[in-house]
A and B are shown apart, each in its own frame.
Chain A
Amino acid sequence: MGRNGAHLVRMAALFAAGLVVFLAVRQRFVPHDFGTYGHYRAGALDDARAKPIKFAGQRTCVECHSDVAERRSASHHAKVSCEICHGALAVHASGDSPATPGRPDGRAPCLTCHQKNVSKPAWFPQIVAAEHADEGPCTACHQPHSPGVS
């Protein structure tokens, strides 16, 4: 080092101290799982997964209501899942709550899909509600779980 080495030692010490401060600050502010998969916090994946579900899903409905599902499977509504008309029912399916499915009433639930609209694809069955069956209730002729007129 020679007679001028002292200032080099001081500089090195300063550098080392700066490094320690940098690492300390980094550890304080960068989450420990940042960078595990990429330039983000890996725990964010678990955060996104943690949200509770609202729709139970078709498989869950059918576990108990297989009779309805079977009737429906032979109809035009075979691929229409329960919660489209009955609403989100994860709470009902979990059994923790007395929440029961809404029973769709009146023409509105049917017309959500089946009201005539020129923008709808032509293959889809549509009616002009005002001119259809004297505006009577749909269920007089159609059963939602097997909607064909027999």
Chain B
Amino acid sequence: MDESRRTFLAQAGQWILLTGAASVAWDAIVAGAPETAPNYDVTAHWWAILIDIDKCIGCGTCVRSCKTENDVPLEPEYFRTWVERYIVNVEDPDHPFVEAPNGGYDGFADVTVGPNAKTFFVPKMCNHCADSPCVQVCPVGATFVSPDGVVLIDKDRCLGCRYCIQACPYGTRFLDPRTHTADKCTLCYHRITKGLLPACVETCPTGARQIGDLKNPNDPIHEYLRTHTVQVLKPQMATGAKAYYHGLDGSVR
């Protein structure tokens, strides 16, 4: 091989290596120190939700308090949590009748159901999936699973492209008409990081909604999950949903 060519290749190799190293070093410089979170260790928690169908009375208090706490627009298109009523013909469980007038905000009127029907309420909200489809489709890193297992939106980065709204198998996202950015349940991140309960859990009169910290060995959620049958919504989608429903009927979608 020609001597000057060899020298060139060696120099080019060094140059590429140095560039790579400089790039890595630069990343470390611009990243800076992790944000400090006083009194709350973001890596010490892993939040999950328990919903007990047998306790939900469809009063809609959770829907109202969620809108109050989080300034959700009051129009019936926008909900961070809502309640559905199922009316299921027991001979045809694949085609339940589902309704959620104003998301259950005003409660539910009594109905008359046939002798072959069963009826119950199903509270719905973000399942705070560990492998969220909504996070995977975001083109700009505006939505993410936080280190403590909460799916959040960075409103400063969100473009309002709506990919995440379409990707969520549970329909829990909407476009905020005021900011034109995606919006969703934060599990009341501003509350749980202060040791408070999410607004819907705080105001559920029957305890149908609970939250638990799966990383805290003393949290009663472990005992609950050991002693109760639970199910997540759409398990076939492998979303790693962390909203565990007890008493969920097979007809619920």
Chain A residues at the B interface, C-beta cutoff of 8 Å? 1-2, 5, 8, 12, 19, 23, 26-27, 30, 32-55, 57-58, 79-81, 83-84, 88, 112-113, 115-121, 123-124
> When chains A and B are docked, how far (Å) is the Cα of A37 from the Cα of B15?
30
Q: How many residues of B contact A (CB 8 A)?
A: 67
Interface string of B70-93 (1 = CB under 8 A from A): 100000000000000101000000
Cβ-closest chain A residue relative to B247:
A121
In the assembled complex, which residues on chain A have CB atoms less than 8 Å from the CB atom of B68? Answer: 54-55, 88
> When chains A and B are docked, how far (Å) is the Cα of A26 from the Cα of B143?
20
Tell me if A53 and B194 are in contact (CB < 8 A): yes
In the assembled complex, which residues on chain B have CB atoms less than 8 Å from the CB atom of A83? Answer: 65, 202-203
Let me know if B206 is at the binding interface, CB within 8 A.
yes
Cβ-closest chain B residue relative to A112:
B59
Tell me if B157 and A41 are in contact (CB < 8 A): yes
> Residue B193 contacts which of A37, A49, A81, A123 (CB distance < 8 angstroms)?
A49
Tell me if B144 and A47 are in contact (CB < 8 A): no
Cβ-closest chain A residue relative to B27:
A35
Interface string of B52-65 (1 = CB under 8 A from A): 00111111110001
Given contacts A42-B34, A47-B156, A120-B57, contact A80 B69 (CB under 8 A): no
In the assembled complex, which residues on chain B have CB atoms less than 8 Å from the CB atom of A116? Answer: 110
Secondary structure call for the A interface: loop
In the assembled complex, which residues on chain B have CB atoms less than 8 Å from the CB atom of A41? Answer: 141, 154, 156-157
Determine, out of B123-131, B183-191, B218-226, B232-240, the stretch whose residues face the partner at the interface.
Answer: B183-191
> When chains A and B are docked, how far (Å) is the Cα of A49 from the Cα of B154?
12
Given contacts A44-B154, A58-B202, contact A52 B190 (CB under 8 A): yes
Tell me if A36 and B35 are in contact (CB < 8 A): yes
Interface string of B195-226 (1 = CB under 8 A from A): 01101001111110000000000000000000
Let me know if B229 is at the binding interface, CB within 8 A.
no
In the assembled complex, which residues on chain B have CB atoms less than 8 Å from the CB atom of A80? Answer: 205
> When chains A and B are docked, how far (Å) is the Cα of A61 from the Cα of B191?
16
> When chains A and B are docked, how far (Å) is the Cα of A47 from the Cα of B199?
18
Determine, out of B112-120, B161-169, B171-179, the stretch whose residues face the partner at the interface.
Answer: B112-120
Tell me if B69 and A53 are in contact (CB < 8 A): yes
Let me know if B227 is at the binding interface, CB within 8 A.
no
In the assembled complex, which residues on chain A have CB atoms less than 8 Å from the CB atom of B252? Answer: none
- Distance to closest chain B CB from A78 (angstroms): 11
Tell me if A36 and B57 are in contact (CB < 8 A): no
Given contacts A36-B34, A44-B156, contact A118 B59 (CB under 8 A): no
Within 8 A of A (CB), among B1-55: 4, 7-8, 15, 19, 26-27, 30-32, 34-35, 37, 40, 42, 54-55
Tell me if A1 and B34 are in contact (CB < 8 A): no
In the assembled complex, which residues on chain B have CB atoms less than 8 Å from the CB atom of A32? Answer: 30-32
Tell me if B54 and A51 are in contact (CB < 8 A): no
Tell me if B119 and A119 are in contact (CB < 8 A): yes
Given contacts A44-B154, A53-B191, A121-B57, contact A112 B34 (CB under 8 A): no
By CB atoms of chain B within 10 A, which of A1, A45, A113 has the most? A45
Let me know if B107 is at the binding interface, CB within 8 A.
yes
> When chains A and B are docked, how far (Å) is the Cα of A42 from the Cα of B35?
7
Tell me if A35 and B119 are in contact (CB < 8 A): no
